[in-house]
Copies of this chain bind each other. A is one copy, B any other.
Amino acid sequence: MELIKTAREMRDWATKQKQLGKTIGFVPTMGYLHPGHLSLVEKAKSQNDLVVLSIFVNPMQFGPQEDFSVYPRNIKQDSLLAEKAGVDLIFYPGTEEIYPQYPPLTSVEVKGITEELCGKSRPGHFTGVATIVTKLLNIVQPRRAYFGQKDYQQYLVIRQLASDLNLSTFIEMAPIIREEDGLAMSSRNAYLSPTEREQALALNQALEICRRLYLGGEKEVANLIKAIKERLLQEPSLKIDYVEIRKAADLGPLATINISAIVAIAAYLGKTRLIDNLLLEVE
């Protein structure tokens, strides 16, 4: 497995591989890899000749009060996990390599879908995401790039910008990977105290209650949201950021589930912000 730290070397490597007729699958991450990331690598391996994984904790997608400085980092362990998973190359640039000037003068803005859900609680977050992903896609030039369903809104934003900016990369999504007890895998789970870790199960359990009600015939969004909130509020330390059920295609509002929907939760446990979601597909 190779490790490259500069954009120029990364681009040259990608250009060379493409000239050899190889397709590149790309998994952009902020590191501290867990089985969620590795499932993206596995999917990328199955669909491309080569897999590039990037590790870059992107300051531009963190708010001033957020956890950029303490976000967990462990390049040594990440390298071992990536190599074992069959990654061909880790792109591991420093902040100055990506942002010679910070903040950068140029940003990629996506309207509409960025204004809902996490966009409300995290102003500027999706501009940071859209900008870094555009940059990374231009450097790595992959055939396909892989994103987890856990960040469903992020997936929609990236799909939109890739289409709007005529990027040649296909944007792929892979399912949420969970711990055995149901907690969605996240690098931020490392922040949780044992008590918070216990209470964090409420997110997935609330989504499961929603799923059962829906499969039992309940299609009214208001009733489903009420049931989710009831479960979440059983946890004394849990603070709801939002519980929303929206159109899966564009996060538009929805009163009755007659079209594919995304059920999305964001909640705080202490200082840790967790998200989880459930796709309800209507054919």
Q: How many positions in chain A have a CB within 8 Å of any CB in the partner chain? A: 28
Beyond A104-B164, A106-B165, A135-B166, 15 extra complex contacts between A and B, CB < 8 Å: A11-B166, A15-B168, A19-B19, A105-B111, A105-B112, A105-B160, A106-B108, A106-B110, A106-B161, A106-B164, A107-B109, A131-B165, A134-B165, A135-B164, A138-B168
Chain B min CB distance to A133 (Å) = 11
Contact of A113 among B105, B109, B131, B135 (CB under 8 A): B105
CB under 8 Å from chain B, chain A span 1-42: 7, 11, 15, 19
Tell me which residues across on chain B come within 8 A of A131, comparing CB atoms: 165
Question: Interface centre among A15, A106, A113, by most B CB within 10 Å?
Answer: A106
Report 21 cross-chain contacts, Cβ distance below 8 Å, ordered by A residue.
Answer: A7-B166, A11-B168, A19-B19, A104-B164, A105-B112, A105-B164, A106-B108, A106-B110, A106-B130, A106-B164, A106-B165, A107-B109, A108-B109, A109-B109, A131-B165, A134-B165, A135-B164, A135-B165, A138-B165, A138-B168, A139-B166
Q: Is the CB of B108 within 8 A of A108?
A: yes
Tell me which residues across on chain B come within 8 A of A11, comparing CB atoms: 166, 168
Interface residue? A167 (CB, 8 A): yes
In the complex, residue of chain B having the shortest beta-carbon distance to the beta carbon of A167: B138
Interface residues of A (CB under 8 A from B): 7, 11, 15, 19, 104-113, 130-131, 134-136, 138-139, 160-161, 164-168
Question: Interface centre among A130, A139, A165, A167, by most B CB within 10 Å?
Answer: A165
Chain B min CB distance to A60 (Å) = 11
Tell me which residues across on chain B come within 8 A of A105, comparing CB atoms: 110-113, 160, 164
Tell me which residues across on chain B come within 8 A of A113, comparing CB atoms: 105
Tell me which residues across on chain B come within 8 A of A7, comparing CB atoms: 166
Chain B min CB distance to A174 (Å) = 23
A-B pairs, top 10 by smallest CB distance, nearest first, are A106-B164, A138-B166, A106-B161, A135-B166, A105-B111, A139-B166, A104-B164, A105-B112, A106-B110, A107-B109
In the complex, residue of chain B having the shortest beta-carbon distance to the beta carbon of A139: B166
Complexed CA–CA distance, A19 and B22 (Å): 12
Tell me which residues across on chain B come within 8 A of A135, comparing CB atoms: 164-166
Chain B min CB distance to A101 (Å) = 8
Tell me which residues across on chain B come within 8 A of A19, comparing CB atoms: 19
Q: Is the CB of A160 within 8 A of B110?
A: no
Tell me which residues across on chain B come within 8 A of A134, comparing CB atoms: 165
